[in-house]
Amino acid sequence: MFIGIDVGTSEVKVLLLAPDHTVLGSAGAALTVSRPQPGHSEQDPHHWWAATQAALAQLRADHPKAYAAAQGIGLSGQMHGAVLLDAQDQVLRPAILWNDTRCAAECAEMMAELPGLPDLAGTLAMPGFTAPKLRWVARHEPDIFQRVAKVLLPKDYVRLMLTGEYVTDLSDASGTLWLDVRQRTWSSDLLALTGLTEAHMPRLVEGSAPGGFLRPEVAQALGLPAGIVVAGGGGDNAASAVGMGAVEAGQGFLSLGTSGVLFVVTPSYQPNAASATHAFCHAVPDRWHQMSVMLSAASSLQWVTDLLGAPNAGAVAGRAAELSLAERAAAPLFLPYLGGERTPHNDAHVRGSFHQLSFDTDAARLGYAVIEGVSFGLKDGLAALNAAGSRVNRLSLVGGGARSAFWAQQLASALNTEVVTHGSSAVGGALGAARLGWLATGAPQSTVCQSPAIEASYHPDAAEQALLEPRYAQFRSLYRTA
């Protein structure tokens, strides 16, 4: 048996995986976020460990025999968070999270001081990443900065509690702005931007390699065998890809949640930072991935659902699906930039808008416009990935938007690729983490990283593509005037 631990922002989720790929059970423990000032987002690392213990205790209670037979543990987690430890491993301040925006000025400074940063790090400097957070701490909390002995990422603080070791994996390390992503090693030039050295960093391992072993006293408290391997693990998106079997070049997934993420595996390092994409190490050796991010995806549909007073987003999508092709062609166009946009525009100030409203515009047409606008935003993201040399064969669709067959079909047509959906148990970082724990025991990748069963498959439809093509051209032109 293998255990996956996913340290998210809203909960710690744990999962128990059998060697026949059956998910035997899962459990979770909720977390809260502190926002002491506008733009600030923090969590207490001690709460991650307490939640991990609580979730594992529930998993143990539900499946005592299988749980006790665990041979490997994998870790996944929210990326970019800054956990600051002193020389005695004491937490110096609450962890600054991925969605904290306080360090925009520091990002601009880093880009100016090291113009080659995007080529080294695979991305532009953005406030979400770890390095500018440390530069902010050095400026605003110098007494704390002087005491920093180690900087860990969220899942790796949990690893420290499990194993006593300072270790991170290459996929999570890619989101710090301290990693030379091409060489898969810490960069002294990037570290120098924040006044740190490699001595402040955890040891680097591949996500599928051992990243420590369970301490005897912790094993006893958790009811697990002492000394079992704890894998390097992965950042949340890379771990999710492993869970979906996306480990070979051209494989990938599309996450249609609050935000929209396109993740494509590449055989080499292929950055396109100018279009606000991320090129990071994958959680398995000799693989990288490209990622595009749009900020308002399924959340745009929820926004218009609330605006229309509809019972739920599914009802809005259902009404949109009933429109004929001719009615869709006459629907308004929607720019889905309700909170700015990342890929490909990197524009925090642009805002969403409807265009070509008329007296014929009703709830169904508004809902259709929003769904289509999000699809076009994701098409922009895929174009940015393609511009860097990425090629995608098939995309697994996950997230809340995956429940809409209409949206899945439209995405297949808009992106001109096969789109497939899976059961909910096949989705998420905890499953990928468990698989990485399995790999760390020495199991072959071909055995572990199988694609989950496909529930439905969608292929590009020529008639729908003929409708979408001119509307996408209009969509692209409207951004320039937004």
Residue 231, H or E segment = strand 229-231
Write phi, then psi, for 296 (nearest 5 degrees). -130, 95
Q: Interior CA angle at 437 toward 436 and 439, to 5°? A: 60
Structural contact between residues 334 and 352, judged by C-beta atoms closer than 8 angstroms: yes
Residue 319, H or E segment = helix 313-321
Other Cβ atoms within 10 Å of 77 Cβ, number = 27
Task: Report the DSSP beta bridge partners of residue 12.
Answer: 7, 29
Task: Confirm whether residue 111 is marked as ligand binding.
Answer: no
Structure tokens at 17: 């995986």
Active site residue 461: no
Task: Confirm whether residue 80 is marked as ligand binding.
Answer: yes
Grouping H, G, I as helix, E, B as strand and the rest as coil, residue 323 is coil
By the 10 Å C-beta count (0-12 exposed, 13-18 middle, 19+ buried), 153 is classed as buried
Q: Which amino acid is at 143?
A: D
Q: Which amino acid is at 158?
A: V
Compute the distance between CA of residue 187 and CA of residue 121 in angstroms, rounded to an integer.
Answer: 9
Structural contact between residues 31 and 43, judged by C-beta atoms closer than 8 angstroms: yes
CA distances from 222 to 68, 230, 437 (A): 9, 14, 17
Hey, which bits of 102-146 come out as E strands? none
Q: Which amino acid is at 167?
A: V
Compute the distance between CA of residue 229 and CA of residue 105 in angstroms, rounded to an integer.
Answer: 41
Selected catalytic residue, list 44, 236, 286, 347: 236
CA distances from 480 to 105, 265, 470, 477 (A): 26, 31, 17, 6
Catalytic residues: 236
Q: Which residues are annotated as a binding site for substrate?
A: 79-80
